[in-house]
Structure 1
Amino acid sequence: MGDSIDTGMMTQVLREMGEKAVVASRALAVLPAEEKNRCLRRMAETIEAAVPAIKAANEEDLKAAKAAGLSAAMIDRLTLTDRRIAEMAEGLRVVASQADPVGRVLSGTTRPNGLFIEKVSVPLGVIGIIYESRPNVTVDAAGICLKAGNAVILRGGSEAFHSNMALARLLDEAAVGCGLPDGTVQLVPWTDHAAVPILLKMDKYLDLIIPRGGERLIRLVCAEATMPVLKHYKGVCHLYIDAECDVEKAVAIVVNAKCQRPSACNALETLLIDRRIAERFIPPFLAAMKEHGVELRGDAEFRKFDPSAVPATEEDWFAEYLDLILAVKMVGSVEEAVAHINHYGSRHSDGIISSIQADIDYFFANVDSATLYSNASTRFTDGGEFGMGAEIGISTDKLHARGPMGADELTSYKYLVRGDGQIRS
């Protein structure tokens, strides 16, 4: 459908989609694991067989994005290469190979009165996902929601409309071919932004909403949604170079964290350098940053080592650049580094490069983020890298799910209580 549509008609269609999703979710909740896995594998095969069609649809989006002047970071997120399409299919197969997250007995106890109480994992129901740019989310989200026995309603960004529609058609074709209920995977078929506020008020149908995109989108969803929201606002990721560490490894880790894919939410945005290692670390670090074309924004102390660095402002310490820009600050201890991260960070992914075990232990115990690293790049915060196959997103919340979210994180639980005539006195 693509463009704008009468709001009344849009509301009616979205409600019909919600009703179909609820009916589908009840069937999916009791679908055997082998049936879900068979369908996930069929979805992977269908995508692999349609690479030319997927790339053709993606090219339409890329042409429009370039004409509209979208940033290089946004275009990178939008682009579907052969490798990325293959990774989407492989992600579905990995999800299919995993243990079923539904029906797990989480605990069991017998009460003094003889009641046996089991806590068992169950699907959440219907999940809504609002996302920007990355069309691979269409496939990842559908696969993970299916694995966890949930129906899903997807609303992709207008910049990826043709890509998302092509992928959704393929997923629906595979689902129908496997005999799954109508409404298992649905994509909102318009680019009109009016669909979003309607979707956010559909708590009668949606049990959870997950926004994936820029901070503006996520804050809008949190402000208007009438159902629970799982989200992260942004990824202000830090690395702290401790007083003692392997300088060669440290430089390599910083280069990877900042430069390997700067548009990702797990890319490095702020580097904290202990002044006790500055003389050894900063020269090779500066050479590496120059080689990779990284703009540095530093505090006054760092700029004594690199006068060409842009003076950092208070806003820089909060910034998610998603580009080849890095904020750099000198600190005097692991305690000072931790205090900075907890104040300016986004609770996403932060790390320490150190050969001092006590400092690593202190960092791990005191930094309040979803994922922490010692002597490794922050770029590993990803469902695939964590063995989840695809991922539904990365949560910086503390309730229900935190960090990369796979199928396990899209379940809830219920209590099954078995008795033999017990009554409460």
Structure 2
Amino acid sequence: MTELLTEIGKKAQAAAQELGQLPTAVKNQSLAAIADALEKKTPEILSANRLDLEDTTGLEDKFIDRLTLTPERISAIAAGVRQVASLPDPLGNVERGWTTQAGLKISQERVPLGVVGIIYEARPNVTVDSAALCFKAGNAVILRGGKEALQTNIKLAAVVREVLAAQGLPSAAVQVIQETSHELAQKFMRLDQYVDVLIPRGSARLIQTVVQNATVPVIETGAGNCHIYVDETADLQMAERIVINAKTQRPSVCNAAEKLLVNQAIAAEFLPQIAQSLSKHHVEIRGDEAACQIIGEKARPAQSDDWDTEYNDYIIAIKVVSSIDEAIAHINQHNTKHSESIITKNYQHSRQFTQQIDAACVYVNASTRFTDGFEFGFGAEIGISTQKLHARGPMGLKELTTTKYVILGEGQIRE
């Protein structure tokens, strides 16, 4: 088992050395070929996906939704790869430069991270998104997905690897760990001799397991207990559209809204309206005492743990608050530092919210569903970082690089 990981790690390191030197044009040509191959081989990919879907006993609907591929979803994945190809290459960019008192010319330049490890669950799109972004940023990637998506992940990676090989590039740039035991996963988390950074994507439980057990440096991508606060000055029709979109457009994902806070000044008018709309979308409503009194039988009392729960389902918890200050305090106490939104016409309230909310993404008058690498113009994303070191929010190409200092001298020595 250890020998297997060591072999994978050595191959990834060798591939990373080559990838870091590739011209941008070569990388973009390869990415375009990968996108074409994904669409061409859609029937084969769907066939592999059906094998994974044959046994979904005990899996929640939200899990099955993430696992399932369709022709439309494969086309969207391919479109993401093409967008990555169209983006500027961050490698070699000079962040800053200066000349020291000793006459040394110092420049800070962007370079690849090296070997990136990804641990994730039943999210086949992560396989391609990670491969495309890491490749463009000059990194090799080692992928360890969940057993539920194993056949799909193997097939997607095979399509990418075949294109790389056909282009004369190292297929070891993208490798899938096909052994899905927890024991091997634990060893992978400690493969710091070969892996430069580890990125977990999935449930809060998975992420915390990686954070607590890894010796490889971890970029933490968090769960999404996302809130929408409807201010007393909000356009209520706008608020309704945004809440319905953020909750129901795709409730199984981390940027879906899980909590709704409503200012008491407009609660009597807005809550019956939004409750009726949520009910039409079969959303279960859990409310605090004030919300339940206004909504009536469409809501049931929320429990204390509701305020900290990421449902990933057709469930929302609603709280009536007295002010924007109470809303901000509640959000900062219970959120996961992911995405938060205020609906308001008051500029001062919008500024207070954006300045005081502690989260990777803070919205004014927009749905939290936009927290996504593709929507941000990154082509795809490696994950949404909720930590504060190195990267925060949707992680694109630049977040998959680091910097080094290049110092040019003319024989200087330090006295």
TM category (shorter chain) comes to over 0.9
Q: Mean alpha-carbon deviation: is it higher for 389-398 or for 189-198? A: 189-198
- State the one-letter code of the partner of 1:13: L
Supply the distance in 2 between the matched residues of 1:121 and 1:310 (Cα, whole angstroms): 53
SS at match of 1:100: coil
Match for residue 364 of structure 1 among 332, 354, 364? 354
Please say if 1:141 is aligned against 2:130: yes
Match for residue 313 of structure 1 among 296, 303, 307? 303
Supply the distance in 2 between the matched residues of 1:84 and 1:196 (Cα, whole angstroms): 28
Please say if 1:282 is aligned against 2:271: yes
Q: Mean alpha-carbon deviation: is it higher for 228-237 or for 159-168? A: 228-237
Instruction: Report what 2:337 is aligned to.
Output: 347
Instruction: Report what 2:228 is aligned to.
Output: 239
Instruction: Report what 1:96 is aligned to.
Output: 85
Instruction: Report what 2:177 is aligned to.
Output: 188
Instruction: Report what 1:35 is aligned to.
Output: 26
Structure 1 residue 277: deviation in Å?
1.0
8 Å CA contact 1:20–1:182 kept in 2: the answer is no
Instruction: Report what 1:124 is aligned to.
Output: 113
Supply the distance in 1 between the matched residues of 2:171 and 2:46 (Cα, whole angstroms): 27
Supply the distance in 2 between the matched residues of 1:378 and 1:179 (Cα, whole angstroms): 42
Match for residue 328 of structure 2 among 329, 338, 360? 338
Instruction: Report what 2:6 is aligned to.
Output: 15
SS at match of 2:282: coil
Please say if 1:376 is aligned against 2:366: yes
8 Å CA contact 1:348–1:396 kept in 2: the answer is yes
Instruction: Report what 1:248 is aligned to.
Output: 237
- State the one-letter code of the partner of 2:388: K
Please say if 1:49 is aligned against 2:40: yes
Supply the distance in 1 between the matched residues of 2:274 and 2:284 (Cα, whole angstroms): 13
Alignment gaps of 5+ in structure 2: none
SS at match of 1:190: coil
- State the one-letter code of the partner of 1:310: R
8 Å CA contact 2:15–2:173 kept in 1: the answer is yes
Alignment of 1:255-294 (within 5 A): 255-294=244-283
SS at match of 1:306: helix
Structure 1 residue 182: deviation in Å?
4.0
Instruction: Report what 2:406 is aligned to.
Output: 416
SS at match of 1:264: coil
CA deviations 1:247-291 (Å, max 9, x no partner) are 111001000000000000000001000001112211211110111
8 Å CA contact 2:110–2:404 kept in 1: the answer is yes
- Structure 1 runs (4+) greater than 6 angstroms displaced: none
SS at match of 1:107: strand
Identity %: 49
Structure 1 residue 69: deviation in Å?
2.3
Supply the distance in 1 between the matched residues of 2:122 and 2:360 (Cα, whole angstroms): 24
- State the one-letter code of the partner of 1:204: Q
Q: TM-score, normalised by structure 2?
A: 0.98
- State the one-letter code of the partner of 2:242: I
Supply the distance in 2 between the matched residues of 1:282 and 1:151 (Cα, whole angstroms): 50
- State the one-letter code of the partner of 1:345: N
SS at match of 2:366: coil
8 Å CA contact 1:239–1:268 kept in 2: the answer is yes
Supply the distance in 2 between the matched residues of 1:76 and 1:25 (Cα, whole angstroms): 33
Q: Mean alpha-carbon deviation: is it higher for 222-231 or for 254-263? A: 222-231
Instruction: Report what 1:61 is aligned to.
Output: 52
Match for residue 212 of structure 1 among 201, 218, 228? 201
Structure 1 residue 101: deviation in Å?
1.1
Q: TM-score, normalised by structure 1?
A: 0.96
8 Å CA contact 2:222–2:338 kept in 1: the answer is no
- State the one-letter code of the partner of 2:360: A
Q: Mean alpha-carbon deviation: is it higher for 186-195 or for 221-230? A: 186-195
- State the one-letter code of the partner of 1:86: S
SS at match of 1:64: coil
Aligned length: 414
8 Å CA contact 2:222–2:384 kept in 1: the answer is no
- State the one-letter code of the partner of 1:339: A
Supply the distance in 2 between the matched residues of 1:424 and 1:313 (Cα, whole angstroms): 66
Supply the distance in 2 between the matched residues of 1:167 and 1:177 (Cα, whole angstroms): 16
Instruction: Report what 1:3 is aligned to.
Output: none
Instruction: Report what 2:285 is aligned to.
Output: 296
Q: Mean alpha-carbon deviation: is it higher for 225-234 or for 285-294? A: 225-234
- State the one-letter code of the partner of 1:358: Q
Structure 1 residue 191: deviation in Å?
2.6
- State the one-letter code of the partner of 2:71: D
8 Å CA contact 1:125–1:207 kept in 2: the answer is yes
8 Å CA contact 2:272–2:295 kept in 1: the answer is no
- State the one-letter code of the partner of 1:363: F
CA deviations 1:297-318 (Å, max 9, x no partner) are 1111111112321211110000
Supply the distance in 1 between the matched residues of 2:33 and 2:214 (Cα, whole angstroms): 34
SS at match of 2:295: coil
SS at match of 1:305: helix
- State the one-letter code of the partner of 1:405: M
Structure 1 residue 245: deviation in Å?
1.1
Supply the distance in 1 between the matched residues of 2:163 and 2:221 (Cα, whole angstroms): 31
Instruction: Report what 2:73 is aligned to.
Output: 84
Supply the distance in 1 between the matched residues of 2:52 and 2:404 (Cα, whole angstroms): 43
Instruction: Report what 2:15 is aligned to.
Output: 24
CA deviations 1:311-361 (Å, max 9, x no partner) are 111100001000010010010111111100110000000000000000000
- State the one-letter code of the partner of 1:50: K
Alignment gaps of 5+ in structure 1: 1-9
